[in-house]
Amino acid sequence: MERKAVKNLIIGFGKAGKTLAKSLARKGEAVAIVEQSPRMYGGTCINIGCIPSKSLIVNGQKGEKFADAALQKVNLVEKLNRKNYHMIADEPTATVIDGKARFLSDHEVEISREGQPAMLVEAERIFINTGARAILPSILGMSECKNLVTSTGLMDLQKRPDHLVIIGSGYIGLEFASMFLSYGSKVTVIDAHRTFLPRQDRDIAARVKKDLEEAGAVFKLGYEINGVFDRNEKSILNIMFDDQAEEIEADKILLATGRKPNISGLGLENTSVKIGEDGHILVNEKLETSAKNIWALGDVHGGPQFTYTSLDDFRIIESQLYGDKSRTLDNRGEIASSVFITPTLSNVGLTETEAQAQRKSYRLFRLEATAIPKSAVLRQSKGLLKALVDPDTDEILGATLYAEDSHEVINILSLAINAKLPYTMIRDHIFTHPTMSEALNDLFSNANEVKK
Ligand SMILES: Cc1cc2nc3c(=O)[nH]c(=O)nc-3n(C[C@H](O)[C@H](O)[C@H](O)COP(=O)(O)OP(=O)(O)OC[C@H]3O[C@@H](n4cnc5c(N)ncnc54)[C@H](O)[C@@H]3O)c2cc1C
Ligand SMILES: NC(=O)c1ccc[n+]([C@@H]2O[C@H](COP(=O)([O-])OP(=O)(O)OC[C@H]3O[C@@H](n4cnc5c(N)ncnc54)[C@H](O)[C@@H]3O)[C@@H](O)[C@H]2O)c1
C-alpha cells in the first residue's frame, strides 16, 4: 500500500476545508485534501448546492427556457469546479488526493481510490469537512421508483418535469417549488407538518404560502406518505390526510426532507472522535473533537447548514491555530438566512413569535413592500418587512424581510445587530435611491408600539 506522511490532512473539499487548505499552503505548510468525487472539487455549494440552484432560480425569474438554463448551469459549475481544483492543486505544498477517506486510527487514514491501490496517509492534524447528505425517509416502494430524486438529481435534468411533486417544504422544497413554477411546471408540495414554515411568524408564513399558491403551487400539509409506485413513465404517490387516502401522479418526485451529517463509511469507530445522538461529530466551541489532533468543520458537526457558517468555521480554526484564539462558535454573533423564493424570505435574530415566547418587550416595526418605490420599479411589490427593537436600548432584536432583494438587505441588519447599532442609525442613514435597502429608512420610521 502506498504510504504518505503529511502535517495536515483535510477530509472533504467543502467551503471550510478548501479555504483552510489554501491558507495552510500559503503559510508554506504541507497539506493534503482528499475528495471522494472529482465532480465535487469545491464541495456541495458550487457543484450541487447553492450555486447551481441559484443559477436555475435566477434564469427562471428572467424567463429563460429550462433547457437553456440547465446548460448555463452546467457550464458555470464546470468552470467553478476546475477553478476550485486548481486553487489548491497549484499550490506547491498542497496535494489533492482523489478517493474516499476512512479512519484507521486517530492519526491514520486509508484512502480507497478507483482503479488504484488504496493509500495510507499518516497525519499530525486532521480536519474533517465531509458535509451533509440528503435524509431519505423510508417510503414503501421508493427503491424501485424511477422518478424519485434528491436536489442533485433534479438539477441534472435536461427537461423540466410537467408535474413535480416535492416532499418537504423547508429550504430546498420551497426554493425548488419557486424555481420550477417559473419554468412552467405544475408543482405540488407535501409536508408531514400541518403548520407551514413553523419557525416563521404566522403573518409572514401566510403571505409566503399565498404568494406561492398564486404562482401555481398546491400545498398538501399534514400528509403522510403511504407509498410510491411507477405506472408507465410516471410515478404515483399514495398519500393520506386524517385517514383519507389519495393518489397523486408525478413526473418527478423531489425528496427534500432535510440533510444529515455525512459520516457514513468514515471509520470514526476506529478513532476517539465522539458522535452526537443525531449523528453529528461532537465539537467544542473551538471545533475540537474529542480526539486532540482532529477538528470538524462545516455541516458535519451539526448546527446551521450554510456555506457561510462553514466559511466561518475556517475563521475559527485560523484564529485558534494561528491567531489570537478569540474567535469561537460562541461569539460568531447573529447569523442571517435567506430562502431564495420569489420574493426572498430573509431572517436575522428574533422573530416576533420568538420574542413573545421569551416574554421580551419589543417595539414592532412593519412595512408593506408595496410602499417601497424600488419594488414598483422592479414590478415585484409582494411582501412584508418586520423588525423588532429593544425599547430600552434601541438595539435591533431581529428582522424578517419578505421582499425582493431581501437576501442583500438582511446583511445590513445582521451587521447592525452584531455591531449593536441603535435602530435610529439605520432610520436616519442616507441610502442610495432607488434601492430596496432604503426601505429600512421607512421601516424604522413607521409608527410602532411597545409590546410586552
Ligand atoms: C440544493 C442545495 C442548495 C443550497 N443552497 C444554499 C444557499 O443558497 N446558501 C447556503 O449558504 N447554503 C446552501 N446550501 C447548503 C450548503 O451547500 C452547505 O451547507 C455547505 O455546502 C456545506 O459545506 P461543508 O463545508 O460542510 O461541506 P461540503 O461542501 O458539503 O463538502 C463536503 C465534501 O466532502 C466530500 N466527502 C464526504 N465524505 C468523504 C470521504 N469519506 N472521503 C472523501 N471525501 C468525502 C464530499 O464529496 C464533499 O465534496 C444548499 C444545499 C443544497 C443541497
Ligand atoms: N438558501 C439557503 O441557505 C439554503 C437553500 C437550500 C438548502 N439549505 C440548507 O440545506 C438544509 C436542508 O434543506 P431541506 O429543505 O432538505 O431541509 P429542511 O430541514 O429545511 O426542511 C425539511 C422539510 O421536510 C419536512 N419533512 C421531514 N420529513 C418528512 C416526511 N417524511 N414527509 C414529509 N415531509 C417531511 C419537514 O417538515 C421540513 O418542512 C437546510 O437546513 C439549509 O440549511 C440552505
Residue 161: what residue type?
P
- Give pLDDT, residue 274: 98
Query: Does position 449 have pLDDT exceeding 80, yes or no?
Result: no
The residue whose CA is least distant from atom 43 of ligand 2 is 305
0.95 exceeded by pTM: yes
* Cα–Cα nearest to 185, from 223, 211, 147, 159: 159
Q: How far apart are CA 254 and CA 177, in angstroms?
A: 10
> Could you give the dihedral angle defined by the CA atoms of residues 86, 88, 94 and 95, in that order, rounded to the nearest 10 degrees?
-60
Query: Does position 404 have pLDDT exceeding 90, yes or no?
Result: yes
Q: ipTM greater than 0.95, yes or no?
A: yes
- Give pLDDT, residue 33: 98
Helices marked H in 157-250? 171-182, 202-214
How far does the centroid of ligand 1 lie from the alpha carbon of residue 258, in Å? 13
Residue 1's pLDDT band, with cuts at 50, 70 and 90, is confident
- Give pLDDT, residue 450: 75
Q: Which residues of 71-223 form beta strands (DSSP E)?
A: 94-98, 100-103, 108-113, 116-128, 132-134, 148-149, 163-167, 186-191, 218-221
Mean pLDDT of 209-237: 97
| CB of residue 169 inside a 6 A radius of ligand 2 | yes
* Residues 281-299: tens digit of each pLDDT: 999 999 999 999 999 999 9
Q: For residue 163, indicate whether it is catalytic.
A: no
Mean pLDDT of 372-376: 96
- Give pLDDT, residue 131: 98
* Residues 16-40: tens digit of each pLDDT: 999 999 999 999 999 999 999 999 9
Pocket test for ligand 1, best of 50, 294, 295, 339 (most atoms within 8 A of CB): 50
Query: Does position 161 have pLDDT exceeding 90, yes or no?
Result: yes
Query: Does position 448 have pLDDT exceeding 90, yes or no?
Result: no
Q: How far is CA 446 from CA 188, 427, 435, in A?
A: 38, 10, 18
Mean pLDDT of 353-359: 97
